[in-house]
Amino acid sequence: MRLNRSNEKWILLIVLTVIWGSSFILIKKSLLYYTPYEVGSLRILIASLLLLPYALANIKKFPKKQVKYLIVAAACGNFVPMFLFPLAETQISSSVAGIINSMVPIFVIILGALFWSTKTSRTQIFGTLVSFLGVMLLTLGDAQSGALKIIPILLLLLATLLYAINGLTVKTHLGQVEPKLLSAFIFGFVLFFPSVISLGFSGFLQDFTGSKENWIGLIYVGLLAVFGTGLAMMLNYRLLSVSSALFASTVTLLMPIVAIGWGVVDGESLSFMQFLGAVVILAGLLFLRSEQAAKPSKMKKRSS
């Protein structure tokens, strides 16, 4: 039975929440064996190798006229953030990284209003703000983080800003490209050589000795690349094609719940404030069921 768009977007939202919410613990585990630069480079390269055959098989469908937007999507949504998150997680917990990542919808609203002709209903804005209040409760209730460190937080805020730019770019300029092909072209063509170059400079080739620890770390990074990058980006682009950029970005409001859950499994404690924050986030998402914003097809970037 074929799903209608309303049901499909919620299923995609839930699946992406689980996959991306689990990425933070995988980054944390990967950093036990590799440097942040090695983790980022390996994550992109493995995903690129995975999708390269599919990209080559469909090379005739490559959207030549949208190359500049493919580059923007590749840089903002798939390359730079892959390094920013590991760098930040060397100083803060995976749970806090997941919490700060929830800023994406806020940036989508701000950037959409400033640079894209996007319209958002008051109900959606209210739901986003309620969910963000839940994010703040999660931050206050993080019993393991200690004093907040400004540099890693700024790195993560930059990553979330880039994610918002990526979502708006894909929605407004690459919506006609099939999600699977979009992921394949971005990783298989645009990011393949940059990932090879970055891996060469990361020191991985000198550090990898084939030891047991090397292979264990590679398994963690491999899971991160296959599920948290390759598969997740396909699902994310599909979500963008059946919903608004704001709705798609709200996956980041649910991700902290999964991230904290993995933290508990890994030995971290869950405070009452964190539990309350998770409930508030879910309550805010109920308001996002309203889709009274302008149709995606009417979204056009403002001319400068």
Lowest-confidence range among 52-56, 105-109, 184-188?
A: 105-109
Among 170, 146, 155, smallest CA distance to 77 is for 170
More confident residue, 257 or 45: 45
Please name the residues in contact with 81: beta carbons below 8 A apart, sequence gap of 6 or more.
159, 162, 163
Q: What are phi and psi of 84, to 5 degrees?
A: -65, -40
Other C-beta atoms closer than 10 Å to the C-beta of 45 total 22
- pLDDT tens digits, residue range 252-267? 878 888 888 888 788 7
Please answer whether residues 90 and 32 qualify as being in contact, where contact means their C-beta atoms are separated by less than 8 angstroms. no
Per-residue confidence (pLDDT) for residue 301, from 0 to 100: 44
pLDDT tens for 67-106 read 999 999 999 999 999 999 999 989 877 877 887 787 788 7
SS3 301: strand
DSSP 116: B
Q: Residue range 36-45: average pLDDT?
A: 96
pLDDT bracket for residue 6 (50, 70, 90): confident
What are the domain boundaries of the chain?
A: 5-298
Q: Is 205 helix (H, G, I), strand (E, B) or coil?
A: helix
Looking up tokens 């060469």, which residue turns up? 200
**Over 60: is that where the pLDDT of 286 sits?**
yes
Q: What is the pTM of this model?
A: 0.80
Taking CA atoms, 198 is separated from 79, 188, 192, 241, in Å, by 10, 15, 10, 31
Model confidence pLDDT, tens digit, residues 157-196: 899 999 999 989 998 899 889 988 999 999 999 999 999 9
* pLDDT for residue 296 is more than 80: no
Give the list of residues 6+ apart from residue 154 with CB closer than 8 angstroms, or none: none
